[in-house]
């Protein structure tokens, strides 16, 4: 028997998708492999290839009743309005003519929503906020990331830091520690103080090691790293550890992400900022009309009909008192009314679409991360929708695909501490978090941490899709088979963004196919 993944892969390779009944029909056949080949050959021969293959299509092809094109005919060119962008993941298109009079039959309405919350702080926060709680938090961070690092081949044979002093001159030492301090010496070398449960030591990254210069710049306070160093002992001088390599937990290069068995999509949003004078209500209304199939050409409306999930990664409202003189840029100054206005807009989302909402730093939740879900006391109208309210960060399985949703407050700290990162490029900071396997490695910066009984910000598992916001700049890419999406914003440039030099990219909505992990991008501005 051919398994489901193998069948889906053959069709995905042809840029085709199977409905569940078509998949079950092919799987059940004794000659499954031959039947799959016949179906694919039949589709290739069609003048106009269907994008989604139903059970009826399979039956017609296998029974020989599917229409065949004349030999001289050339297949029609699909998606004529799609233009290429730099990212291979994207196929954006912009034109949205009014087509409300045409019938709209959303495929997503045929499938049940499946959302499992795997990890979320909501209702699980137990801390007194004392010193012992912070000690426990960082101990948990260290132990879990150390366990990931120990699995790396280049860190086999690591020793406790207290054992380092016993090594002789010229010997190689491997250790794992949390970065207790990082500074630059007068000579221009980078000095890193590492700590584990056994003690502390100092490692020097020489400025002469040009091969380590970039890595030295990317080391940040409070993260857990591995170091390979050479011991130097000369006479009565203090022994020195000279770094040969700096190693992060990282994620495996070869990894196959989970895929949905049904051809459904998720529209990814963040940073709506309802209540702000700069909230682009007209553009958001166009998005809602498209989602209902009221605007768009045939291909765009077909895509809208496959949207089963609407995921919002924080800052659904603009909030109150978040940044200096914010009140001067607010259209709605009452936080409760901001949420009422947001809920009123979201009532226009089709009832078969499951909405998932996580908070951000503008939302009415505690500023400490991890943040619980926006409460019913603050936003009761949101709870009347077809919605799943989750915390920040949260891990979910959406139609069998593992999502990591994180708003992205810690991006500000990374940009301030790592050379080369900037507010205008939203994907590189996401990659750094994946490499470090932690969502907010720096303590004491813009991102305040709650000392929970475990560190909820450790990326212990590997997501299929990581969805962030906060930057107000759209980005989409893939890193080691993890799809990374920063969903931009529906807010124009504010005075605060201007002070940061941020030029937002509003009104851009990525729609991710959960079966193929490809994204199409629609511009609503």
User: Are residues 161 and 51 both part of a single domain?
Assistant: no
User: What does the alpha-carbon distance between residue 449 and residue 182 come to, in Å, rounded to a whole number?
Assistant: 20
Give the C-alpha distances (Å, rounded to integers) separating 479 from 252, 462, 517.
Answer: 10, 11, 13
Domain at 15, CATH number: 1.10.8.60
User: What does the alpha-carbon distance between residue 308 and residue 263 come to, in Å, rounded to a whole number?
Assistant: 10
User: Are residues 446 and 475 both part of a single domain?
Assistant: yes
Whether the per-residue pLDDT at 116 is higher than 50: the answer is yes
**Could you report the per-residue pLDDT of 130-143, keeping only the tens digit for each?**
999 999 999 999 99
User: What does the alpha-carbon distance between residue 377 and residue 374 come to, in Å, rounded to a whole number?
Assistant: 9
Domain at 119, CATH number: 3.60.21.50
User: Are residues 213 and 285 both part of a single domain?
Assistant: no
- Look at residue 114 and tell me if it is in a domain: yes
Domain boundary among 247, 281, 302: 247
- Look at residue 144 and tell me if it is in a domain: no
Better pLDDT: 444 or 290: 290
Whether the per-residue pLDDT at 242 is higher than 50: the answer is yes
* pLDDT bucket at 198, cuts 50 / 70 / 90: very high
Domain boundary among 213, 247, 281: 247
Domain span at residue 21? 4-63
- Calculate mean pLDDT across residues 74-83: 30
Q: What is the pLDDT of residue 128?
A: 85
Q: What's the mean per-residue pLDDT of the chain?
A: 89
Burial of 450-481, coded b for 16+ CB within 10 Å and e otherwise, reads bbbebbbbbbbebbbbbbbbbbbbbbbbbeee
- Look at residue 361 and tell me if it is in a domain: yes
- Calculate mean pLDDT across residues 496-518: 92
Domain at 158, CATH number: 2.40.50.140
The dihedrals phi and psi of 211, each to the nearest 5 degrees, come to -70, -20
User: What does the alpha-carbon distance between residue 450 and residue 122 come to, in Å, rounded to a whole number?
Assistant: 13
SS (H, E, C) 175-218: EEEEEEEEEECCCCCEEEEEEECCEEEEEEECCCCHHHHHHHHH
User: Are residues 391 and 510 both part of a single domain?
Assistant: yes
User: What does the alpha-carbon distance between residue 407 and residue 347 come to, in Å, rounded to a whole number?
Assistant: 23
- Calculate mean pLDDT across residues 153-157: 93
**Could you report the per-residue pLDDT of 325-375, keeping only the tens digit for each?**
888 999 999 999 999 999 999 999 999 999 999 999 999 999 999 999 999
User: Are residues 227 and 345 both part of a single domain?
Assistant: no
Please provide the distance, in angstroms rounded to a whole number, between the alpha carbons at the two ends of the chain: 49
Provide the 10 A C-beta neighbour count for residue 96: 19
49, 78 Cβ separation under 8 angstroms:
yes
Q: What is the pLDDT of residue 44?
A: 76
For residue 15, say if its preceding peptide bond is cis, omega within 30 degrees of 0.
no
- Look at residue 88 and tell me if it is in a domain: no
User: What does the alpha-carbon distance between residue 138 and residue 140 come to, in Å, rounded to a whole number?
Assistant: 5
**Could you report the per-residue pLDDT of 381-434, keeping only the tens digit for each?**
999 999 999 999 999 999 999 999 999 999 999 999 999 999 999 999 999 999
pTM value is: 0.83
* pLDDT bucket at 113, cuts 50 / 70 / 90: very high
Identify the three-state secondary structure at position 450. coil
User: Are residues 335 and 211 both part of a single domain?
Assistant: no
- Calculate mean pLDDT across residues 451-457: 95
User: Are residues 415 and 354 both part of a single domain?
Assistant: yes
- Look at residue 131 and tell me if it is in a domain: no
User: Are residues 339 and 236 both part of a single domain?
Assistant: no
**Could you report the per-residue pLDDT of 25-37, keeping only the tens digit for each?**
888 888 888 888 8
Overall domain count for the chain:
3
Q: What is the pLDDT of residue 65?
A: 64
Q: What is the pLDDT of residue 288?
A: 97
- Calculate mean pLDDT across residues 224-251: 90
User: Are residues 202 and 223 both part of a single domain?
Assistant: yes
Edge-first strand order for the sheet with 482-487 is 115-120, 394-398, 401-405, 465-468, 482-487, 474-479
Name which of 81, 76, 45 is nearest 298 in CA terms. 81
The dihedrals phi and psi of 28, each to the nearest 5 degrees, come to -75, -15
User: Are residues 401 and 496 both part of a single domain?
Assistant: yes
User: What does the alpha-carbon distance between residue 294 and residue 287 come to, in Å, rounded to a whole number?
Assistant: 10
User: Are residues 355 and 449 both part of a single domain?
Assistant: yes
- Look at residue 293 and tell me if it is in a domain: yes
- Look at residue 68 and tell me if it is in a domain: no
**Could you report the per-residue pLDDT of 256-287, keeping only the tens digit for each?**
899 999 999 999 999 999 999 999 999 999 99
Q: Among the ranges 7-11, 208-212, 388-392, 502-506, which has the highest mean pLDDT value?
A: 388-392
* pLDDT bucket at 102, cuts 50 / 70 / 90: low
Domain boundary among 247, 277, 309: 247
User: Are residues 168 and 231 both part of a single domain?
Assistant: yes
- Look at residue 48 and tell me if it is in a domain: yes
DSSP 8-class letter at 72: T
Q: What is the pLDDT of residue 349?
A: 98
**Could you report the per-residue pLDDT of 43-60, keeping only the tens digit for each?**
877 756 777 888 888 888
Q: What is the pLDDT of residue 31?
A: 84
């Amino acid at each position: 028997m051919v398994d489901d993944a193998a069948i889906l892969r053959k069709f995905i390779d042809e840029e085709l998708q199977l409905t569940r009944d078509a998949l079950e029909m092919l799987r059940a056949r004794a000659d499954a492999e031959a039947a799959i080949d016949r179906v694919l050959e039949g589709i290739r021969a069609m003048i106009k290839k269907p994008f989604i293959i139903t059970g009826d299509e399979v039956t017609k092809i296998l029974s020989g009743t599917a229409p065949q094109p004349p030999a001289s005919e050339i297949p029609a060119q699909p998606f004529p309005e799609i233009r290429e962008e730099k990212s291979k993941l994207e196929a954006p298109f912009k034109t949205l003519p009014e087509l409300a009079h045409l019938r709209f039959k959303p495929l997503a309405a045929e499938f049940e929503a499946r959302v499992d919350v795997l990890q979320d702080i909501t209702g699980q926060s137990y801390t007194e906020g004392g010193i012992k709680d912070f000690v426990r938090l960082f101990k948990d961070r260290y132990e879990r990331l150390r366990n990931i690092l120990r699995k790396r081949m280049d860190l086999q044979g690591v020793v406790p830091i207290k054992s380092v002093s016993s090594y002789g001159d010229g010997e190689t030492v491997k250790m794992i520690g949390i970065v207790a301090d990082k500074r630059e010496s007068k000579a221009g070398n980078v000095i890193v103080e590492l700590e584990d449960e056994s003690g502390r030591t100092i490692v020097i990254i020489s400025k002469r090691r040009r091969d380590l210069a970039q890595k030295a710049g990317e080391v940040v306070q409070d993260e857990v790293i591995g170091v390979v160093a050479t011991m130097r002992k000369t006479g009565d001088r203090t022994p020195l550890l000279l770094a040969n390599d700096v190693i992060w937990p990282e994620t495996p290069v070869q990894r196959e992400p989970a895929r949905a068995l049904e051809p459904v999509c998720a529209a990814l949003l963040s940073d709506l900022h309802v209540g702000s004078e700069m909230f682009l209500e007209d553009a958001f209304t166009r998005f809602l009309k498209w989602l209902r199939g009221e605007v768009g050409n045939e291909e765009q409306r077909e895509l809208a009909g496959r949207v089963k999930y609407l995921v919002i990664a924080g800052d659904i409202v603009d909030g109150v008192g978040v940044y200096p003189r914010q009140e001067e840029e607010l259209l709605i100054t009452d936080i409760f009314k901001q949420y009422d206005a947001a809920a009123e807009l979201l009532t226009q989302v089709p009832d078969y679409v499951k909405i998932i909402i996580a908070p951000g730093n503008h939302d009415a939740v505690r500023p400490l991360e991890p943040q619980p879900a926006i409460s019913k006391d603050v936003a009761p109208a949101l709870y009347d929708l077809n919605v799943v309210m989750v915390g920040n960060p949260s891990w979910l399985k959406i139609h069998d695909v593992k999502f990591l949703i994180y708003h992205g407050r810690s991006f500000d700290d990374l940009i301030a501490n790592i050379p080369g990162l900037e507010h205008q490029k939203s994907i590189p900071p996401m990659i750094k978090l994946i490499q470090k396997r932690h969502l907010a490695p720096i303590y004491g910066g813009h991102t305040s941490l709650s000392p929970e009984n475990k560190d909820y910000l450790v990326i212990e598992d590997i997501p299929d899709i990581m969805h962030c916001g906060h930057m107000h700049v759209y980005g989409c890419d893939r890193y080691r088979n993890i799809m990374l999406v920063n969903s931009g914003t529906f807010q124009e440039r504010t005075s605060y963004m201007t002070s940061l030099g941020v030029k937002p990219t509003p009104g851009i909505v990525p729609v991710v196919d959960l079966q193929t992990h490809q994204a199409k991008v629609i511009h609503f501005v």
